[in-house]
């Protein structure tokens, strides 16, 4: 039993009786008293009459998204601790809910212990804010300072959302063993190239995040397609290509990641305008997207596959010189060559597991 749960009431907002019962069981086992509402209107009715420590809310097409529910609850109870529970279908909506002010995010298939822990953490932060408010009153501190503190707490949503997104990346990489570690390697190489191009620290961090999340839209692609040996059908390839637009849609609710979202959407554009999704050519594609594209091709060439030994770094750079002006730009290629030439690129040792069949997806997206 959690210490946070002692004598605390939690309100769940969930229409489905099965999920509602599962939430009740998890929270009761965590020591909480559980109240239930099937809709946001019902939740507001309870909040007006009971002292609630935390709200656990989901999205409901008939009653509003998770973000809309969070917004309505916070307009009624500005200091309320809210935990968002999301499914595969509403990842982007859950992220929007974090921006709306939810304190915690839970993805699909969470355990009862994870539900209780998330509520514990949200309740603890709510209590800390309440204690600060009481101290402020006793000392005569202006309410404006407390409001600023609450806003800082709400801004924590970006970090929580990023953590949730990185968890989704692990789900994507688990679908195809060739993808294991791919996003980390691309992120590190892209950051090195950006540093070579003398971008600012802020821009380097943006491209590191974009590199980590660039394939997040692959969550919509089936394992069958990702692991398929041999060429993809036109329909299958269209599904793979759609990962860039879905990835940008997942990230778009986070205003602080506008540049990252753009990099993710356009990292498969080509210098000659024959890429996707928008057929941007040359410098019309965002600089970060061009850098990630170069880093991704380099990783494809230097990563071991069952049918292909990894290409040595210097030979990979030489091979890529042949597509300068068509697939990639001169500036980005020269920066890559400088990074590799100074041996700043990391060497990754791939274990036997990650050398399992990568499927057609790997060759379909690169050279």
Given 126, 155, 184, which residue is the final one in a domain?
155
Q: Looking at the domain assignment, is residue 165 inside a domain?
A: no
In a domain, 162, yes or no: no
Query: Does residue 170 sit within a domain?
Result: no
Domain hosting 76: range is: 9-155
User: Per the omega criterion (within 30 degrees of 0), is the bond before 268 cis?
Assistant: no
| Least confident piece of the model among 57-66, 163-172, 323-332 | 163-172
Task: For 272-314, write each residue's pLDDT tens digit.
Answer: 999 999 999 999 999 999 999 999 999 989 987 655 688 999 9
Question: Which residues, including other chains, have CB under 8 Å from residue 111's CB and lie 6 or more apart?
Answer: none
Tell me whether residue 144 is in a domain.
yes
CATH of the domain at 140: 3.40.50.2300
Distance CA 327, CA 337 (A): 16
pLDDT attached to residue 324: 96
Report yes or no on 167 lying in a domain.
Answer: no
Same domain for 204 and 77, yes or no, is no
Both 344 and 258 in one domain: the answer is yes
Return the CATH number at 248: 1.10.3210.10
Number of independent structural domains in the chain: 2
Domain identity same for 34 and 134: yes
Residue 168, in any domain of the structure: no
**Tens of pLDDT, residues 331-358:** 999 999 999 988 644 444 333 333 333 3
- Domain termination site, one of 155, 190, 213: 155
Tell me, yes or no, if the pTM score tops 0.85.
no
> What is the rounded CA–CA span in Å between residue 7 and residue 184?
44
- Read off the pLDDT of each residue in 248-263 and give the average, rounded to a whole number: 86
Residue with tokens 């839209």: 217
Kindly state whether residues 143 and 235 are assigned to the same domain. Answer: no
Domain boundary among 104, 121, 155: 155
Please enumerate in sequence order all residues whose Cβ is within 8 A of that of 15, keeping only pairs 6 or more positions apart, or say none: 38, 39, 60, 62, 63
Q: Which helix (H) or strand (E) holds 34?
A: strand 33-37
104 forms beta bridges with 83
Q: Supply φ then ψ for residue 324, to 5 degrees.
A: -65, 130
User: For residue 352, what pLDDT is reported?
Assistant: 36
Residues 300 and 341 occupy one common structural domain? yes
């Amino acid at each position: 039993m959690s210490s946070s749960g002692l004598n605390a009431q939690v309100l769940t907002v969930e229409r489905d009786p099965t999920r509602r019962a599962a939430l009740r069981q998890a929270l009761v086992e965590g020591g909480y008293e559980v109240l239930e509402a099937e809709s946001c209107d019902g939740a507001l009715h309870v909040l007006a009459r009971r002292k609630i420590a935390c709200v656990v809310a989901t999205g409901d097409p008939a009653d509003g998204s998770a973000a809309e529910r969070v917004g309505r609850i916070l307009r009624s109870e500005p200091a309320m601790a809210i935990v968002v529970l999301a499914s595969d279908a509403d990842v982007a909506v859950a992220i929007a809910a974090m921006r709306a002010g939810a304190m915690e995010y839970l993805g699909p298939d969470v355990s009862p212990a994870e539900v209780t822990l998330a509520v514990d953490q949200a309740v603890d932060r709510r209590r800390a804010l309440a204690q600060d408010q009481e101290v402020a009153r006793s000392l005569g501190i202006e309410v404006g300072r407390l409001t600023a503190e609450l806003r800082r707490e709400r801004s924590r949503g970006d970090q929580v959302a990023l953590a949730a997104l990185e968890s989704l990346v692990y789900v994507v990489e688990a679908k195809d063993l060739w993808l294991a570690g791919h996003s980390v390697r691309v992120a590190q190489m892209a950051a090195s190239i950006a540093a070579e191009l003398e971008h600012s620290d802020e821009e380097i961090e943006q491209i590191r995040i974009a590199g980590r999340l660039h394939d997040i839209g692959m969550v919509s692609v089936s394992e069958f397609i990702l692991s398929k040996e041999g060429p993809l059908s036109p329909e299958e390839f269209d599904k793979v290509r759609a990962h860039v637009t879905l990835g940008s849609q997942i990230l778009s609710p986070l205003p602080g990641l506008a540049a990252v979202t753009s990099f993710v959407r356009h990292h498969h554009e080509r210098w000659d305008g024959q890429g996707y999704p928008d057929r941007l050519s040359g410098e019309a594609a965002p600089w970060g997207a061009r850098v990630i594209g170069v880093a991704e091709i380099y990783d494809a060439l230097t990563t071991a596959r069952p049918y292909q030994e990894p290409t040595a770094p210097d030979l990979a750079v030489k091979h890529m010189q042949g597509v300068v002006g068509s697939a990639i730009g001169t500036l980005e290629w020269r920066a890559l060559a400088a990074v590799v030439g100074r041996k700043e690129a990391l060497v990754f040792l791939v274990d036997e597991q990650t050398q399992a069949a990568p499927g057609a997806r790997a060759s379909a997206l690169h050279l």
